[in-house]
């Protein structure tokens, strides 16, 4: 620890010397110039390449332009100062700037291999800075001393001695192995999802299980690499079991229900279902919930456990055909043969109405004001809704009824006035 502090103090002493101040000032000037020129050139770089190609033109340039310009300016300044003084700090700054540019570009390209997420986007710069700080400590010779210092900070878990260096190394190993595992899992998922001969539900089950298995294997491989005994995890496994038994019971139930739904294929992506008084199209079957998108664009998140234990109406489970009932009425005395002909002909004119089963007209009731009818038609695209079809049918029927002189009744009341007998 003392040697580590001594080396840091020697570095600061060098920076406070006249030659060191010249180099620090030149380095600051080079960084400012690099930032200014990179910002000026940013607007002239396209945001991406043509569709279907990697869109890394602007993104990659913005991440390496600043450090590369700084590298050029520092190298030119070092060439000039070499004639007058020892440029130790600038010699150290050049590999640090080079490594910073390489790390930033590597982290940016890695983001294209891992599924995008807000956490990854927010932590991209933090990961780059941590990696660069490690390289900086290594190049300055301070990394071994820092490692020894972290190795002396420890605690005991059972029979296992765990140091701070071991924890940090374990986190780094887990992060790297998880990135590799997720990348490989994503490549396999792409191959699996491309197999259209296999049902979509089965493909979703396989990909979810594959990703979970990849993450588990990554953790099991990373921890022994830093000397952590896997038996230590038994304590945490017991705690997780207790948590699942109490606070996480519902969460675990929803995840298990999600796998059951995918395996038995009772609900599939694209089905039109009614669940918990919500009607919509199944767009996603996630681990915890299933997403229904209503015909008005509203999305409902239904817990998977509710879909297993409750009643679910699947309107397209075995057949996508759905019955649409269109109620209407005609006045008493109307020609029912002409009414039936108009209704059936209008139904056949609608492109969404299926020809099999054929449309039909039923008399529902002999009402107080007229004959109550019901036009039944079948459609094969229930995800498009029924409101537009009903509206088109009503418009066409009104026009035809008006041309044929068929009256649509309205509420009528007959009033009799009884006069009192004369006294």
Grouping H, G, I as helix, E, B as strand and the rest as coil, residue 198 is coil
Considering only CA atoms, which of 185, 147, 149, 196 is closest in space to residue 169?
147
pLDDT at 278 over 70: yes
Q: How far apart are CA 401 and CA 330, in angstroms?
A: 9
CB-based contact 181:217 (threshold 8 Å)? yes
pLDDT at 207 over 90: no
Tokens 């520092």 identify what position?
74
Which of 31-35, 185-189, 290-294, 416-420 shows the highest mean pLDDT?
290-294
Grouping H, G, I as helix, E, B as strand and the rest as coil, residue 40 is helix
CB-based contact 334:371 (threshold 8 Å)? yes
Confidence category of residue 245, pLDDT binned at 50, 70, 90: low
What is the mean pLDDT of the segment spanning 172-194? Answer: 74
Three-state secondary structure string covering 282-340: EEEECCCEEEEECCCCCEEEEEHHHHHHCCEEECCCCCCCEEEEEEEEECCCCCHHHHH
pLDDT at 377 over 90: yes
pLDDT at 53 over 50: no
Which of 137-141, 186-190, 237-241 shows the highest mean pLDDT?
186-190
Q: How far apart are CA 284 and CA 269, in angstroms?
A: 6
CB-based contact 86:19 (threshold 8 Å)? yes
Q: What is the H or E stretch that residue 364 is in?
A: strand 360-366
Considering only CA atoms, which of 178, 164, 184 is closest in space to residue 226?
164
pLDDT at 114 over 60: no
pLDDT at 329 over 90: yes
pTM for the structure as a whole: 0.48
CB-based contact 392:410 (threshold 8 Å)? no
268-314 CATH, one of 2.30.30.60, 3.40.228.10, 3.65.10.10, 2.60.300.12 = 2.30.30.60
Report pLDDT digits (tens) over 132-154: 666 666 656 665 666 666 666 66
Instruction: Show the tokens assigned to 100.
Output: 């910073």
Report pLDDT digits (tens) over 31-45: 888 888 777 776 665
Tokens 């879909």 identify what position?
307
Q: How far apart are CA 113 and CA 214, in angstroms?
A: 15
Predicted pLDDT of residue 40: 75
Neighbouring CB atoms inside 10 A of 177's CB total 20
CB-based contact 293:273 (threshold 8 Å)? no
Give strand pairing partners of 330.
Answer: 371
| Residue 356 DSSP one-character state | S
Q: How far apart are CA 379 and CA 366, in angstroms?
A: 28
Strand 272-275 and strand 312-314: the pairing is antiparallel
Weakest mean pLDDT among 79-83, 163-167, 322-326:
163-167
What mean pLDDT value characterizes the chain?
Answer: 75
CB-based contact 308:260 (threshold 8 Å)? yes
Strand 299-303 and strand 289-293: the pairing is antiparallel
Tabulate helix, strand, coil % of the chain (nearest 5).
60, 15, 25
Neighbouring CB atoms inside 10 A of 194's CB total 9
- Domain 322-404 grouped into CATH 3.30.70.100: yes
Q: Domain residues of the chain, as ranges?
A: 2-152, 166-247, 268-314, 322-404
């Amino acid at each position: 620890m003392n040697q580590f502090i001594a080396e840091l103090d020697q570095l600061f002493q060098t920076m406070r010397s006249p030659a060191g101040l010249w180099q620090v000032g030149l380095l600051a000037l080079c960084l400012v110039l690099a930032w200014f020129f990179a910002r000026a050139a940013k607007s002239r770089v396209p945001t991406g390449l043509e569709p279907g190609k990697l869109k890394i033109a602007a993104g990659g340039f913005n991440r390496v332009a600043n450090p590369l310009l700084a590298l050029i300016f520092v190298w030119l300044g070092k060439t000039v100062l070499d004639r007058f003084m020892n440029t130790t700090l600038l010699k150290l700054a050049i590999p640090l700037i080079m490594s910073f540019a390489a790390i930033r570009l590597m982290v940016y390209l890695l983001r294209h291999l891992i599924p995008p997420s807000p956490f990854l986007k927010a932590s991209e710069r933090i990961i780059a800075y941590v990696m660069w700080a490690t390289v900086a400590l290594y190049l300055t010779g301070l990394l071994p001393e820092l490692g020894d210092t972290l190795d002396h900070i420890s605690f005991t878990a059972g029979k296992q001695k765990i140091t701070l260096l071991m924890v940090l190394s374990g986190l780094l190993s887990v992060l790297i192995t998880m990135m590799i595992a997720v990348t490989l899992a994503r490549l396999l998922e792409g191959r699996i999802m491309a197999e259209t001969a296999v049902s979509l539900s089965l493909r979703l089950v396989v990909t979810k299980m594959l990703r979970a298995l990849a993450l588990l294997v990554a953790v099991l491989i990373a921890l022994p690499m830093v000397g952590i005994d896997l038996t230590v995890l038994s304590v945490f496994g017991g705690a997780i079991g207790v948590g699942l038994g109490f606070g996480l019971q519902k969460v675990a139930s929803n995840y298990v229900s999600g796998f059951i739904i995918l395996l038995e294929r009772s609900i599939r992506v694209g089905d039109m279902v009614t669940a918990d008084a919500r009607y919509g199209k199944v767009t996603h079957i996630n681990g915890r919930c299933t997403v229904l998108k209503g015909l008005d664009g509203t999305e409902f998140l239904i817990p998977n456990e509710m879909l297993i234990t409750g009643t679910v109406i699947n309107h397209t489970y075995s057949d996508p055909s759905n019955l649409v009932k269109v109620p209407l009425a005609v006045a008493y005395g109307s020609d029912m043969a002409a009414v039936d002909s108009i209704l059936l002909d209008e139904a056949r004119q609608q492109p969404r109405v299926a020809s099999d089963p054929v449309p039909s007209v039923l008399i529902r009731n002999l009402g107080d004001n007229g004959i109550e009818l019901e036009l039944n038609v079948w459609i094969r695209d229930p995800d498009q809704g029924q409101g537009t079809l009903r509206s088109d049918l009503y418009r066409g029927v009104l026009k035809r009824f008006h041309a044929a002189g068929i009256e649509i009744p309205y509420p009528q009341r007959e009033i009799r006035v009884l006069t009192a007998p004369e006294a």
